Amino acid sequence: MGSSIRMKQCDEISLNDEQRDQCLTELSEDGFSVLPVTLPEELLDRIVHYIDTYIDRVRNYEPNLASSSEARYVYMRDTMVEDDPAWRELMMFKPALQLCHDVFGPMFHLSQDMWRVYYADPRVPRQSVLEGWHSDGPRVLPILEDGRCPLYFLRFGYLLADATEDDDGTVEYIRGSHKKPCFDARALPGQRNRRLGNDTFYTPEEQSQLDFETDRITLRGKAGTVFVLHNAVWHRTLAHHANRARAISYFQYSLTMLRPLRRQTPYAGDMSHLSSEERWLLGEPRPGESWIEGGPHDWIRMGRFGRDIDSLGGLRQGC
> 3-state SS string over 238-294?
ECECCCCCEEEEEEEEEECCCCCCCCCCCCCCCCCCCCHHHHHHCCCCCCCHHHHCC
| Higher local confidence (pLDDT), 110 or 186 | 110
Which run of H or E residues covers position 195? none
Of 74-83, 121-130, 175-184, which has the strongest mean pLDDT?
A: 74-83
Contact 304, 315 (CB under 8 A): yes
Residue 46 phi/psi, 5-degree rounding, is -70, -40
Residue-averaged pLDDT of the chain: 84
| Angular region, 103: left φ>0, alpha ψ -120 to 50, beta rest | alpha
pLDDT confidence tier of residue 36, bands split at 50, 70 and 90: very high
Q: Please give the pLDDT value at position 140.
A: 62
Of 17-26, 210-219, 306-315, which has the strongest mean pLDDT?
A: 17-26
Distance CA 148, CA 151 (A): 10
Rounded to the nearest 10 degrees, how much is the dihedral formed by the CA atoms of 146, 34, 108, 94?
-170
Which run of H or E residues covers position 222? none
Mean pLDDT for 295-309 is: 90
Query: Is there a domain that residue 12 lies in?
Result: yes
pLDDT-wise least confident of 130-139, 158-167, 267-276: 130-139
Q: Please give the pLDDT value at position 7.
A: 38
Query: Is there a domain that residue 179 lies in?
Result: yes
Query: Is the pLDDT confidence value at 310 over 80?
Result: no
Q: Please give the pLDDT value at position 318.
A: 44
Mean pLDDT for 202-206 is: 75
Q: Please give the pLDDT value at position 72.
A: 73
Query: Is there a domain that residue 311 lies in?
Result: no
Q: Please give the pLDDT value at position 253.
A: 97
| Higher local confidence (pLDDT), 80 or 61 | 80
Query: Is the pLDDT confidence value at 12 over 90?
Result: no
pLDDT confidence tier of residue 166, bands split at 50, 70 and 90: confident
Mean pLDDT for 247-273 is: 92
Q: What is the edge-to-edge ordering of all strands in the sheet holding 32-38?
A: 32-38, 225-230, 153-159, 246-255, 108-118, 74-78
pLDDT confidence tier of residue 8, bands split at 50, 70 and 90: low
Classify 87 as helix, strand or coil: helix
Query: Is the pLDDT confidence value at 319 over 70?
Result: no
Domain count across the chain: 1
Beta strands at 216-218 and 129-134: parallel, antiparallel or unpaired: unpaired
pTM over 0.75: yes
Of 119-133, 269-283, 297-311, which has the strongest mean pLDDT?
A: 269-283
For 41-74, what is each residue's pLDDT tens digit? 999 999 999 999 998 888 887 656 544 445 578 8
What percentage of the chain reaches a pLDDT higher than 70? 80
Query: Is there a domain that residue 303 lies in?
Result: no
Distance in angstroms between the alpha carbons of the first and the last residue of the chain:
15
Using only C-alpha atoms, the chain has a radius of gyration, in whole angstroms, of 20
Q: Please give the pLDDT value at position 6.
A: 43
Query: Is there a domain that residue 224 lies in?
Result: yes
| Higher local confidence (pLDDT), 75 or 23 | 23
Q: What is the edge-to-edge ordering of all strands in the sheet holding 129-134?
A: 129-134, 235-238, 171-174, 216-218
Query: Is the pLDDT confidence value at 212 over 90?
Result: no
- Other C-beta atoms within 10 Å of 285: how many? 11
Distance CA 219, CA 227 (A): 9
| Higher local confidence (pLDDT), 203 or 301 | 301
Q: What is the CATH number of the domain that holds 20?
A: 2.60.120.620
Query: Is there a domain that residue 312 lies in?
Result: no
pLDDT-wise least confident of 28-37, 83-92, 228-237: 228-237
| Higher local confidence (pLDDT), 277 or 187 | 277
Query: Is there a domain that residue 314 lies in?
Result: no
pLDDT confidence tier of residue 132, bands split at 50, 70 and 90: confident
Query: Is there a domain that residue 19 lies in?
Result: yes
Distance CA 206, CA 204 (A): 5
Domain residue limits at 168: 2-103+110-255
